[in-house]
Amino acid sequence: MDYQNWGPRDMSAPVQTKLPEVPAERGMVLEDVQSGWVGAVTRVEKSGGMHVVALEDRRGKSRTFRLGYGFLLEGRAIRLMPPAPRAATGTGAGRTASGSVRVAGQRAQVAKASRVWVEGKHDAELVEKVWGDDLRVEGIVVEPLHGIDDLAAAVAGFRPGPGRRLGVLVDHLVPDSKESRIAEAVMASPGAAGNVLIVGHPYVDVWQAIRPSVLGIERWPDIPRGQDWKTGILAAFGWPHATKEDIGLGWQKLLGAVRTYADLEASLLGRVEEVIDFLTVP
């Protein structure tokens, strides 16, 4: 924990009495005025007789601050208070779910030629929920591939080039895997260099990119080899898992627990941000 902000308040300074008192809520995006740190609330706890709040930035780094004065919410100074009973969580209107500053009155741009490709529907829904506002402002569309076995042919058909870039987010992209070999072959194809970016996370499925604590568990269950992973996860949770409809409903429960980027693992956050930067930087 970062205790550097735990020093006693300067008693010679004017006491602030008119600032609005706002209870800390998970997912609320705040700025610490003294350091300039911007992050989403991940937890509030009491330590040494003081309430502290952990703020995690969009890159997955976290710092801890003492509750009280010195915070901005949506650009407005507040006095941050301990969570109110039964407080609802969510994202402040001044920030998107990804932690970006919300552009007031900004309409979605006409879709550009560049695209984000993800492996499946669930990946697309997760990216849309957290980064959808950002992508609409940029005119970038997210499309599911339904697997990457035919990625080389799909990329060739897309015909990437300047002004027509392609960012691909792959599940389980680890060394010496099938996915890594497919990615290497694609990047060696004509037109890919500088116009295609393939990144990935280490998880078997994008479900695992949701932080276990968000779901009220310590860790994701271990599923034996040979067993369908999603079916095994739902069975371990005690949820229905016999049909495709059960799988879809189970995913919706998991997705419903995600409010902001702070609910996702840093290994996914960094890769999605990398793809967005690649597609939007001239």
Pair type for strands 21-23 and 68-73 = unpaired
In a domain, 87, yes or no: yes
Give yes or no: residues 130 and 44 share one domain: no
Give yes or no: residues 36 and 168 share one domain: no
Q: 96-107 b/e with 16+ CB inside 10 Å = b? A: bbbbbebeeeee
Torsion of CA 250, 253, 257, 260, to 10 degrees: 80
- The identity of residue 260, as a single letter, is T
In a domain, 241, yes or no: no
In a domain, 244, yes or no: no
pLDDT in tens, 6-35: 233 343 444 445 688 899 888 888 999 988
- Domain end marker among 91, 124, 153: 91
Where does residue 134 fall: left (phi above 0), alpha (psi -120 to 50 degrees), or beta otherwise?
A: alpha
pTM, rounded to two decimals: 0.63
Interatomic CA distance for residues 20 and 233, integer angstroms: 43
Written as tens digits, the pLDDT of the chain (282 aa) is 332 332 333 434 444 456 888 998 888 889 999 888 988 888 887 665 678 888 888 777 888 898 989 999 888 899 998 876 543 344 445 666 655 555 545 454 545 788 999 999 999 999 999 998 888 888 888 999 988 899 999 999 999 998 889 999 998 888 888 889 999 999 999 889 999 999 998 888 999 999 998 888 899 999 998 899 999 999 999 999 999 999 999 999 999 999 888 889 988 988 998 998 899 877
Give yes or no: residues 83 and 146 share one domain: no
- Kindly report the CATH number assigned to the domain that includes residue 179: 3.40.50
Total domains present in the chain: 2
Give the contacts of 200 (CB within 8 A, at least 6 positions apart): 169, 170, 171, 172, 173, 174, 179, 183, 271
Walk across the sheet containing 29-32 and list its strands.
21-23, 76-81, 68-73, 29-32, 38-47, 50-56, 62-66
In a domain, 81, yes or no: yes
Give yes or no: residues 74 and 128 share one domain: no
In a domain, 162, yes or no: yes
Domain membership of residue 141 as a residue range:
115-210+258-280
Give yes or no: residues 75 and 120 share one domain: no
- Domain end marker among 31, 56, 91: 91
Give yes or no: residues 85 and 130 share one domain: no
DSSP H or E segment with residue 152: helix 151-158
- Domain end marker among 76, 91, 106: 91
- Kindly report the CATH number assigned to the domain that includes residue 19: 2.30.30
- The identity of residue 77, as a single letter, is A
Give yes or no: residues 273 and 149 share one domain: yes
> How many CB atoms within 10 Å of residue 272?
28
Quote the tokens at residue 57.
């930035």
Q: Taking Cα atoms as reference points, which of 1, 82, 96 lies closest to residue 40?
A: 96
Give yes or no: residues 136 and 53 share one domain: no
Give yes or no: residues 155 and 43 share one domain: no
Give yes or no: residues 146 and 205 share one domain: yes
Give yes or no: residues 74 and 126 share one domain: no
Vertex 244 angle, CA 241 and 250, to 5°: 50
pLDDT in tens, 119-143: 999 999 999 999 988 888 888 889 9
